[in-house]
Structure 1
Amino acid sequence: MNGLTAIAEVAWLIGDPARANILYALRDDGHVSAGDLAEVAGLAPSTTSGHLARLAEAGLVRIDARGRKRFYSLGDPAVAEILEGIEALVRRLSDREPEPLPWDRGRVHSRMCLDHLAGRLGAQLAGAAIGKDYIRHSARGLALTGTGAAWLGSLGVDVARIEAEPRRFLGLCPDWSRQMTHIGGAVGAAIYRGLVGTGWLRREPGSDRVAVTPKGVAGFRAEFGLDLREAAAGGAA
Protein backbone atom coordinates (compact mmCIF):
# COMPACT_ATOMS: atom_id res chain seq x y z
CA MET A 1 0.00 0.00 0.00
CA ASN A 2 1.53 3.31 -1.07
CA GLY A 3 1.49 6.44 1.09
CA LEU A 4 -1.51 8.09 -0.56
CA THR A 5 -3.58 4.92 -0.36
CA ALA A 6 -2.70 4.50 3.32
CA ILE A 7 -3.71 8.09 4.04
CA ALA A 8 -7.02 7.59 2.23
CA GLU A 9 -7.64 4.37 4.19
CA VAL A 10 -7.16 6.11 7.56
CA ALA A 11 -9.32 9.04 6.44
CA TRP A 12 -12.04 6.61 5.33
CA LEU A 13 -11.97 4.83 8.69
CA ILE A 14 -12.27 8.08 10.63
CA GLY A 15 -14.85 9.50 8.23
CA ASP A 16 -17.57 7.00 9.07
CA PRO A 17 -19.92 8.69 11.62
CA ALA A 18 -20.17 5.64 13.87
CA ARG A 19 -16.41 5.08 13.92
CA ALA A 20 -15.76 8.78 14.41
CA ASN A 21 -18.12 8.71 17.38
CA ILE A 22 -16.22 5.77 18.85
CA LEU A 23 -12.86 7.47 18.35
CA TYR A 24 -14.02 10.71 19.96
CA ALA A 25 -15.33 8.69 22.89
CA LEU A 26 -11.93 7.07 23.32
CA ARG A 27 -10.17 10.40 22.98
CA ASP A 28 -12.18 11.80 25.86
CA ASP A 29 -12.21 8.67 28.00
CA GLY A 30 -9.83 5.89 27.11
CA HIS A 31 -10.40 2.39 28.46
CA VAL A 32 -14.05 2.02 27.48
CA SER A 33 -15.73 -1.35 27.07
CA ALA A 34 -17.26 -2.50 23.79
CA GLY A 35 -20.72 -2.49 25.35
CA ASP A 36 -20.43 1.14 26.40
CA LEU A 37 -19.06 2.10 22.99
CA ALA A 38 -22.08 0.42 21.36
CA GLU A 39 -24.32 2.61 23.51
CA VAL A 40 -22.33 5.71 22.57
CA ALA A 41 -22.52 4.97 18.84
CA GLY A 42 -26.17 3.89 19.01
CA LEU A 43 -25.36 0.61 17.29
CA ALA A 44 -25.91 -3.07 17.89
CA PRO A 45 -23.02 -4.70 19.79
CA SER A 46 -22.17 -6.89 16.77
CA THR A 47 -21.95 -3.84 14.48
CA THR A 48 -19.79 -2.01 17.01
CA SER A 49 -17.48 -5.02 17.28
CA GLY A 50 -17.03 -4.92 13.51
CA HIS A 51 -16.07 -1.25 13.58
CA LEU A 52 -13.67 -1.85 16.48
CA ALA A 53 -12.02 -4.73 14.62
CA ARG A 54 -11.35 -2.48 11.62
CA LEU A 55 -10.03 0.32 13.80
CA ALA A 56 -7.80 -2.10 15.72
CA GLU A 57 -6.47 -3.67 12.52
CA ALA A 58 -5.45 -0.22 11.31
CA GLY A 59 -3.80 0.58 14.63
CA LEU A 60 -6.22 3.39 15.48
CA VAL A 61 -7.41 1.65 18.65
CA ARG A 62 -5.75 -0.66 21.15
CA ILE A 63 -7.43 -3.62 22.84
CA ASP A 64 -6.83 -4.42 26.49
CA ALA A 65 -8.26 -7.81 27.45
CA ARG A 66 -9.07 -8.23 31.14
CA GLY A 67 -10.59 -11.57 31.87
CA ARG A 68 -13.74 -11.90 29.81
CA LYS A 69 -13.97 -8.17 29.14
CA ARG A 70 -12.20 -6.09 26.56
CA PHE A 71 -11.48 -2.40 26.97
CA TYR A 72 -10.48 -0.07 24.17
CA SER A 73 -8.27 3.00 24.00
CA LEU A 74 -6.69 5.05 21.21
CA GLY A 75 -3.84 3.22 19.56
CA ASP A 76 -1.61 6.27 19.27
CA PRO A 77 -1.60 9.82 20.70
CA ALA A 78 -1.47 11.09 17.12
CA VAL A 79 -5.06 9.88 16.66
CA ALA A 80 -6.26 12.38 19.28
CA GLU A 81 -4.27 15.13 17.54
CA ILE A 82 -5.95 14.28 14.23
CA LEU A 83 -9.41 14.39 15.81
CA GLU A 84 -8.70 17.76 17.42
CA GLY A 85 -7.36 19.06 14.11
CA ILE A 86 -10.54 17.99 12.32
CA GLU A 87 -12.65 19.79 14.91
CA ALA A 88 -10.58 22.95 14.52
CA LEU A 89 -10.82 22.77 10.70
CA VAL A 90 -14.60 22.33 10.81
CA ARG A 91 -14.92 25.42 13.00
CA ARG A 92 -12.80 27.47 10.61
CA LEU A 93 -14.63 26.30 7.49
CA SER A 94 -18.12 26.51 8.91
CA ASP A 95 -20.19 29.67 9.14
CA ARG A 96 -21.60 28.46 12.43
CA GLU A 97 -20.46 26.47 15.41
CA PRO A 98 -20.84 22.72 14.72
CA GLU A 99 -23.39 20.81 16.74
CA PRO A 100 -22.06 19.12 19.89
CA LEU A 101 -20.57 15.69 19.37
CA PRO A 102 -22.96 12.81 20.12
CA TRP A 103 -20.49 11.59 22.71
CA ASP A 104 -21.02 13.76 25.77
CA ARG A 105 -17.99 13.88 28.04
CA GLY A 106 -20.24 14.41 31.01
CA ARG A 107 -21.65 10.89 30.73
CA VAL A 108 -18.35 9.34 31.72
CA HIS A 109 -16.90 12.13 33.80
CA SER A 110 -19.89 12.68 36.06
CA ARG A 111 -22.81 10.30 35.82
CA MET A 112 -24.95 8.00 37.89
CA CYS A 113 -24.47 4.32 38.68
CA LEU A 114 -27.85 3.26 40.07
CA ASP A 115 -28.31 5.82 42.87
CA HIS A 116 -24.73 6.92 43.50
CA LEU A 117 -22.13 9.08 41.78
CA ALA A 118 -19.93 7.37 39.23
CA GLY A 119 -17.70 8.29 36.31
CA ARG A 120 -14.36 9.99 36.70
CA LEU A 121 -15.71 12.44 39.24
CA GLY A 122 -16.99 9.53 41.34
CA ALA A 123 -13.57 7.91 41.19
CA GLN A 124 -11.84 11.18 42.11
CA LEU A 125 -14.20 11.65 45.03
CA ALA A 126 -13.52 8.10 46.27
CA GLY A 127 -9.78 8.70 46.19
CA ALA A 128 -10.13 12.05 47.90
CA ALA A 129 -12.40 10.61 50.63
CA ILE A 130 -9.83 7.92 51.37
CA GLY A 131 -7.07 10.54 51.33
CA LYS A 132 -8.92 12.63 53.90
CA ASP A 133 -9.60 9.51 56.01
CA TYR A 134 -13.36 9.83 55.60
CA ILE A 135 -13.32 6.19 54.59
CA ARG A 136 -10.53 3.69 55.02
CA HIS A 137 -9.64 0.11 54.27
CA SER A 138 -9.91 -2.21 57.25
CA ALA A 139 -9.63 -5.94 57.94
CA ARG A 140 -13.37 -6.24 57.37
CA GLY A 141 -13.43 -4.13 54.23
CA LEU A 142 -14.11 -0.48 53.59
CA ALA A 143 -15.14 1.43 56.72
CA LEU A 144 -16.59 4.85 57.43
CA THR A 145 -14.50 6.77 59.97
CA GLY A 146 -15.75 9.16 62.63
CA THR A 147 -14.46 12.05 60.52
CA GLY A 148 -16.33 10.66 57.56
CA ALA A 149 -19.52 10.33 59.58
CA ALA A 150 -19.17 13.96 60.64
CA TRP A 151 -18.75 15.01 57.00
CA LEU A 152 -21.86 13.06 56.04
CA GLY A 153 -23.68 14.80 58.88
CA SER A 154 -22.67 18.17 57.39
CA LEU A 155 -24.41 17.04 54.18
CA GLY A 156 -27.58 16.36 56.14
CA VAL A 157 -27.12 12.58 56.19
CA ASP A 158 -28.44 10.55 59.13
CA VAL A 159 -25.71 7.91 59.40
CA ALA A 160 -27.66 5.80 61.91
CA ARG A 161 -30.60 5.64 59.52
CA ILE A 162 -28.55 4.49 56.53
CA GLU A 163 -26.75 1.93 58.71
CA ALA A 164 -30.14 0.37 59.36
CA GLU A 165 -30.90 0.00 55.65
CA PRO A 166 -30.94 -3.62 54.44
CA ARG A 167 -28.53 -2.89 51.60
CA ARG A 168 -24.74 -2.98 51.73
CA PHE A 169 -23.54 -0.11 53.87
CA LEU A 170 -20.32 0.87 52.08
CA GLY A 171 -18.17 -0.47 49.29
CA LEU A 172 -16.27 0.41 46.12
CA CYS A 173 -17.99 -0.25 42.79
CA PRO A 174 -15.98 -0.91 39.60
CA ASP A 175 -16.46 1.78 36.98
CA TRP A 176 -15.48 1.89 33.32
CA SER A 177 -12.39 -0.22 33.96
CA ARG A 178 -11.15 -2.31 36.83
CA GLN A 179 -8.63 0.41 37.61
CA MET A 180 -11.39 2.88 38.43
CA THR A 181 -13.84 2.64 41.33
CA HIS A 182 -16.40 4.85 43.03
CA ILE A 183 -18.18 4.81 46.38
CA GLY A 184 -21.25 2.58 46.41
CA GLY A 185 -23.74 1.18 48.87
CA ALA A 186 -25.92 3.19 51.22
CA VAL A 187 -23.07 5.61 51.90
CA GLY A 188 -22.53 6.27 48.20
CA ALA A 189 -26.22 6.97 47.68
CA ALA A 190 -26.29 9.25 50.74
CA ILE A 191 -23.27 11.19 49.52
CA TYR A 192 -24.95 11.79 46.17
CA ARG A 193 -28.19 12.95 47.80
CA GLY A 194 -26.22 15.21 50.15
CA LEU A 195 -24.21 16.80 47.33
CA VAL A 196 -27.41 17.47 45.39
CA GLY A 197 -28.99 18.92 48.50
CA THR A 198 -26.06 21.26 49.09
CA GLY A 199 -26.27 22.46 45.48
CA TRP A 200 -22.95 20.99 44.37
CA LEU A 201 -24.49 18.60 41.85
CA ARG A 202 -27.55 18.65 39.61
CA ARG A 203 -29.05 15.61 37.90
CA GLU A 204 -30.02 16.32 34.32
CA PRO A 205 -33.64 15.27 33.62
CA GLY A 206 -34.06 12.15 31.52
CA SER A 207 -30.35 11.36 31.65
CA ASP A 208 -27.80 9.60 33.83
CA ARG A 209 -25.57 12.63 33.50
CA VAL A 210 -24.75 14.73 36.55
CA ALA A 211 -23.70 18.37 36.20
CA VAL A 212 -21.36 20.03 38.66
CA THR A 213 -22.63 23.49 39.56
CA PRO A 214 -20.35 26.52 40.06
CA LYS A 215 -20.96 26.12 43.80
CA GLY A 216 -19.85 22.50 43.47
CA VAL A 217 -16.70 23.45 41.60
CA ALA A 218 -15.72 25.70 44.51
CA GLY A 219 -16.83 23.12 47.07
CA PHE A 220 -14.90 20.20 45.60
CA ARG A 221 -11.80 22.37 45.42
CA ALA A 222 -12.11 23.63 49.00
CA GLU A 223 -13.10 20.31 50.60
CA PHE A 224 -11.06 17.83 48.56
CA GLY A 225 -8.54 19.81 46.52
CA LEU A 226 -10.19 18.67 43.27
CA ASP A 227 -9.79 21.22 40.48
CA LEU A 228 -13.04 21.06 38.50
CA ARG A 229 -13.04 24.59 37.13
CA GLU A 230 -13.98 23.28 33.69
CA ALA A 231 -17.01 21.60 35.21
CA ALA A 232 -19.38 24.56 35.44
CA ALA A 233 -23.08 23.73 35.37
CA GLY A 234 -23.93 21.84 32.21
CA GLY A 235 -20.27 21.05 31.52
CA ALA A 236 -18.18 17.95 32.01
CA ALA A 237 -16.63 17.06 35.30
Structure 2
Amino acid sequence: MPSFASIGALLGVPARANILAALIEGRALTATELALYAGVSPQTTSTHLAKLMDAGLITVEKHGRHRFFRLADPHIADILEPLSELVVHQPVPERRKSRAPMDLRPARICYDHLAGNLGVQVADALKGKGYLEPLGGDFRITDSGTAFFAKLDIDLAALARTRRVFARQCLDWSERRPHLGGVLGATLCDRFLDQGWIKRTRVPRQIIVLEPGERALKRLLGIKVA
Protein backbone atom coordinates (compact mmCIF):
# COMPACT_ATOMS: atom_id res chain seq x y z
CA MET A 1 0.00 0.00 0.00
CA PRO A 2 1.49 3.41 -0.97
CA SER A 3 2.20 5.79 1.91
CA PHE A 4 -0.02 8.80 2.58
CA ALA A 5 2.99 11.04 1.92
CA SER A 6 3.60 9.55 -1.54
CA ILE A 7 -0.08 9.95 -2.42
CA GLY A 8 0.00 13.55 -1.23
CA ALA A 9 3.02 14.30 -3.40
CA LEU A 10 1.34 12.84 -6.47
CA LEU A 11 -1.85 14.82 -5.81
CA GLY A 12 0.20 18.01 -5.94
CA VAL A 13 -0.02 17.87 -9.74
CA PRO A 14 -3.56 18.83 -10.86
CA ALA A 15 -3.60 16.44 -13.82
CA ARG A 16 -2.72 13.45 -11.64
CA ALA A 17 -5.21 14.56 -9.00
CA ASN A 18 -7.95 14.61 -11.63
CA ILE A 19 -6.98 11.17 -12.92
CA LEU A 20 -7.29 9.72 -9.43
CA ALA A 21 -10.55 11.59 -8.82
CA ALA A 22 -11.99 9.99 -11.96
CA LEU A 23 -10.92 6.52 -10.85
CA ILE A 24 -12.43 6.86 -7.35
CA GLU A 25 -15.77 6.17 -9.03
CA GLY A 26 -14.64 2.57 -9.39
CA ARG A 27 -14.77 2.29 -13.18
CA ALA A 28 -11.89 1.27 -15.44
CA LEU A 29 -11.07 4.03 -17.93
CA THR A 30 -8.84 4.28 -20.99
CA ALA A 31 -5.92 6.67 -21.28
CA THR A 32 -7.93 8.72 -23.79
CA GLU A 33 -10.80 9.10 -21.33
CA LEU A 34 -8.43 9.98 -18.52
CA ALA A 35 -6.75 12.61 -20.69
CA LEU A 36 -10.12 14.39 -20.85
CA TYR A 37 -10.37 14.35 -17.07
CA ALA A 38 -6.76 15.42 -16.67
CA GLY A 39 -7.07 18.26 -19.16
CA VAL A 40 -3.71 17.49 -20.76
CA SER A 41 -2.50 15.82 -23.94
CA PRO A 42 -2.55 12.02 -24.34
CA GLN A 43 1.25 11.99 -24.29
CA THR A 44 1.38 13.88 -20.99
CA THR A 45 -1.37 11.65 -19.61
CA SER A 46 0.74 8.59 -20.40
CA THR A 47 3.59 10.06 -18.34
CA HIS A 48 1.27 10.70 -15.40
CA LEU A 49 -0.21 7.20 -15.65
CA ALA A 50 3.27 5.69 -15.57
CA LYS A 51 4.09 7.61 -12.37
CA LEU A 52 0.83 6.51 -10.75
CA MET A 53 1.52 2.88 -11.69
CA ASP A 54 5.09 3.10 -10.38
CA ALA A 55 3.66 4.36 -7.08
CA GLY A 56 1.30 1.40 -6.91
CA LEU A 57 -1.82 3.57 -7.01
CA ILE A 58 -3.28 2.29 -10.27
CA THR A 59 -3.10 -0.83 -12.39
CA VAL A 60 -3.79 -1.55 -16.05
CA GLU A 61 -5.81 -4.33 -17.66
CA LYS A 62 -5.53 -5.24 -21.34
CA HIS A 63 -8.64 -6.24 -23.27
CA GLY A 64 -7.82 -6.76 -26.92
CA ARG A 65 -6.29 -3.57 -28.27
CA HIS A 66 -7.54 -1.51 -25.35
CA ARG A 67 -5.88 -0.79 -22.02
CA PHE A 68 -8.05 0.09 -19.03
CA PHE A 69 -6.77 1.78 -15.90
CA ARG A 70 -8.26 1.46 -12.42
CA LEU A 71 -7.24 1.94 -8.80
CA ALA A 72 -4.88 -0.83 -7.75
CA ASP A 73 -6.75 -1.54 -4.51
CA PRO A 74 -10.11 -0.46 -3.03
CA HIS A 75 -8.27 0.69 0.11
CA ILE A 76 -6.64 3.43 -1.98
CA ALA A 77 -10.10 4.93 -2.49
CA ASP A 78 -10.50 5.07 1.29
CA ILE A 79 -7.29 7.12 1.47
CA LEU A 80 -8.27 9.37 -1.43
CA GLU A 81 -11.86 9.96 -0.28
CA PRO A 82 -10.98 12.48 2.49
CA LEU A 83 -8.89 14.38 -0.09
CA SER A 84 -11.74 14.57 -2.59
CA GLU A 85 -12.80 18.01 -1.41
CA LEU A 86 -9.42 19.27 -2.58
CA VAL A 87 -9.21 17.17 -5.73
CA VAL A 88 -12.55 18.20 -7.21
CA HIS A 89 -11.47 21.86 -7.20
CA GLN A 90 -8.76 21.11 -9.77
CA PRO A 91 -9.43 22.19 -13.38
CA VAL A 92 -11.51 19.67 -15.34
CA PRO A 93 -12.70 19.54 -18.96
CA GLU A 94 -15.61 21.86 -19.73
CA ARG A 95 -18.04 19.04 -20.36
CA ARG A 96 -17.21 17.53 -16.97
CA LYS A 97 -17.68 20.66 -14.88
CA SER A 98 -20.37 20.76 -12.19
CA ARG A 99 -21.00 22.34 -8.83
CA ALA A 100 -18.91 19.62 -7.17
CA PRO A 101 -18.17 19.12 -4.37
CA MET A 102 -21.62 20.42 -3.35
CA ASP A 103 -23.23 18.09 -5.90
CA LEU A 104 -21.51 15.14 -4.24
CA ARG A 105 -22.37 15.86 -0.63
CA PRO A 106 -25.94 14.44 -0.54
CA ALA A 107 -25.14 11.06 -2.11
CA ARG A 108 -22.17 9.70 -4.03
CA ILE A 109 -20.12 6.59 -4.62
CA CYS A 110 -16.72 6.23 -2.99
CA TYR A 111 -15.03 3.71 -5.31
CA ASP A 112 -17.81 1.11 -5.01
CA HIS A 113 -19.77 1.93 -1.85
CA LEU A 114 -22.25 4.57 -0.69
CA ALA A 115 -20.89 7.85 0.66
CA GLY A 116 -22.05 11.37 1.38
CA ASN A 117 -25.02 12.14 3.60
CA LEU A 118 -26.88 9.09 2.31
CA GLY A 119 -23.97 6.74 3.01
CA VAL A 120 -23.56 8.07 6.55
CA GLN A 121 -27.32 7.88 7.18
CA VAL A 122 -27.32 4.23 6.09
CA ALA A 123 -24.36 3.43 8.36
CA ASP A 124 -25.95 5.29 11.27
CA ALA A 125 -29.25 3.45 10.77
CA LEU A 126 -27.53 0.07 10.60
CA LYS A 127 -25.80 0.88 13.89
CA GLY A 128 -28.92 2.34 15.46
CA LYS A 129 -30.94 -0.78 14.72
CA GLY A 130 -28.20 -2.97 16.14
CA TYR A 131 -27.21 -4.56 12.82
CA LEU A 132 -23.64 -3.22 12.94
CA GLU A 133 -21.32 -2.52 15.86
CA PRO A 134 -18.08 -0.49 15.59
CA LEU A 135 -15.00 -2.62 16.18
CA GLY A 136 -11.72 -0.76 15.85
CA GLY A 137 -11.66 0.70 12.36
CA ASP A 138 -14.20 -1.82 11.09
CA PHE A 139 -17.79 -2.88 11.75
CA ARG A 140 -18.92 -6.16 13.29
CA ILE A 141 -22.12 -7.80 12.06
CA THR A 142 -24.53 -8.78 14.84
CA ASP A 143 -26.94 -11.73 14.74
CA SER A 144 -29.81 -9.40 13.91
CA GLY A 145 -27.62 -7.82 11.24
CA THR A 146 -27.02 -11.23 9.68
CA ALA A 147 -30.79 -11.72 9.45
CA PHE A 148 -31.25 -8.22 7.99
CA PHE A 149 -28.70 -8.69 5.22
CA ALA A 150 -30.13 -12.13 4.44
CA LYS A 151 -33.46 -10.42 3.69
CA LEU A 152 -31.58 -8.39 1.07
CA ASP A 153 -30.16 -11.61 -0.42
CA ILE A 154 -26.65 -10.69 0.69
CA ASP A 155 -24.59 -13.80 1.45
CA LEU A 156 -22.32 -12.73 4.29
CA ALA A 157 -20.48 -16.06 4.37
CA ALA A 158 -19.53 -15.68 0.71
CA LEU A 159 -18.37 -12.10 1.28
CA ALA A 160 -16.23 -13.21 4.22
CA ARG A 161 -14.33 -15.56 1.90
CA THR A 162 -13.17 -12.72 -0.34
CA ARG A 163 -9.76 -11.11 0.09
CA ARG A 164 -11.20 -7.65 0.77
CA VAL A 165 -11.78 -6.03 4.14
CA PHE A 166 -15.26 -7.11 5.19
CA ALA A 167 -16.92 -4.00 6.67
CA ARG A 168 -14.74 -0.91 6.94
CA GLN A 169 -15.52 2.30 8.81
CA CYS A 170 -14.60 4.70 5.99
CA LEU A 171 -14.43 8.33 7.17
CA ASP A 172 -16.68 10.47 4.98
CA TRP A 173 -14.96 13.71 3.92
CA SER A 174 -18.17 15.76 3.73
CA GLU A 175 -19.98 14.40 6.80
CA ARG A 176 -16.89 13.84 8.99
CA ARG A 177 -18.40 10.56 10.19
CA PRO A 178 -17.95 7.01 8.89
CA HIS A 179 -19.92 5.34 6.14
CA LEU A 180 -19.84 1.62 5.38
CA GLY A 181 -16.97 0.52 3.15
CA GLY A 182 -15.34 -2.82 2.43
CA VAL A 183 -16.89 -5.67 0.49
CA LEU A 184 -20.14 -5.41 2.50
CA GLY A 185 -20.49 -1.73 1.64
CA ALA A 186 -19.82 -2.48 -2.02
CA THR A 187 -22.37 -5.30 -2.10
CA LEU A 188 -25.01 -3.18 -0.37
CA CYS A 189 -24.46 -0.40 -2.92
CA ASP A 190 -24.80 -2.92 -5.76
CA ARG A 191 -28.04 -4.19 -4.24
CA PHE A 192 -29.46 -0.66 -4.07
CA LEU A 193 -28.53 -0.12 -7.73
CA ASP A 194 -29.92 -3.50 -8.84
CA GLN A 195 -33.21 -2.84 -7.03
CA GLY A 196 -33.60 0.52 -8.75
CA TRP A 197 -33.47 2.37 -5.43
CA ILE A 198 -30.60 4.62 -6.52
CA LYS A 199 -29.01 5.50 -9.84
CA ARG A 200 -25.91 7.21 -11.14
CA THR A 201 -26.19 10.63 -12.76
CA ARG A 202 -24.11 12.28 -15.48
CA VAL A 203 -22.00 13.89 -12.75
CA PRO A 204 -19.13 11.49 -11.99
CA ARG A 205 -19.66 9.64 -8.68
CA GLN A 206 -23.00 11.33 -7.97
CA ILE A 207 -26.08 9.22 -7.26
CA ILE A 208 -29.70 10.09 -6.58
CA VAL A 209 -32.35 8.21 -4.64
CA LEU A 210 -35.41 7.20 -6.69
CA GLU A 211 -38.97 6.92 -5.36
CA PRO A 212 -38.78 3.15 -4.77
CA GLY A 213 -35.55 3.77 -2.89
CA GLU A 214 -37.14 6.43 -0.69
CA ARG A 215 -39.87 3.97 0.29
CA ALA A 216 -37.41 1.11 0.85
CA LEU A 217 -35.05 3.18 2.98
CA LYS A 218 -37.94 4.41 5.12
CA ARG A 219 -39.33 0.88 5.53
CA LEU A 220 -36.06 -0.94 6.14
CA LEU A 221 -33.97 1.60 8.00
CA GLY A 222 -36.26 4.45 9.00
CA ILE A 223 -34.35 6.86 6.76
CA LYS A 224 -36.25 9.81 5.36
CA VAL A 225 -34.49 11.11 2.26
CA ALA A 226 -34.67 14.90 2.07
Report whether the alignment pairs 1:129 with 2:129: no
Number of equivalent positions: 142
Quote the Cα distance in structure 2 between the aligned partners of 1:176 and 1:199. 26
Map of 1:79 onto structure 2: none
Displacement of 1:137: 2.7
TM-superposed CA distance for 1:106, in Å, is 3.9
For the pair 1:203 / 2:200, whether they are aligned, the reply is yes
**Out of 192, 195, 218, which is 1:221 matched to?**
218
Q: 1:219 to 1:178 in 2, by over 3 A?
A: closer
Higher RCO by CA contacts (8 Å cutoff, separation 6 or greater): 2
Q: Which runs of 4+ in 1 moved over 6 A?
A: none
TM-score normalised by L of structure 1: 0.52
| 1:36 corresponds to 2:33 | no
Q: State how 1:70-109 maps to structure 2 within 5 Å.
A: 102-103=99-100, 105-109=102-106
Contact 1:107 1:208 in 2 (8 A): yes
Compared with structure 1, are the counterparts of its residues 197 and 35 closer, same or farther at alpha carbon in structure 2 (3 Å cutoff)?
A: closer
* C-alpha distance in structure 1 between counterparts of 2:166 and 2:127, whole Å: 16
Give the Cα separation in 1 of the matches to 2:83 and 2:189.
Answer: 28
Q: In the alignment, what sits opposite 1:114?
A: 111
What 5-or-longer segments of structure 1 have no aligned partner? Answer: 1-32, 44-99, 231-237
Q: Give CA-to-partner distance per residue, 1:77-109, whole Å, 9 cap, x none.
A: xxxxxxxxxxxxxxxxxxxxxxx9734744121
Q: Give the partner amino acid of 2:120.
A: A
Alignment partner, residue 43 of structure 2? none
The question of whether the paired residues in 2 share the 8 Å contact of 1:122 and 1:182 is answered with yes
Q: Secondary structure at the match of 2:205?
A: coil
Give the equivalent residue in structure 2 for 1:88.
none
Q: Which amino acid aligns with 1:216?
A: G
Distance in 1 between residues matched to 2:139 and 2:84, nearest whole Å:
29
1:144-182 per-residue CA deviation (whole Å, 9 max, x = no partner) reads 112212222222212111110001111200111583210
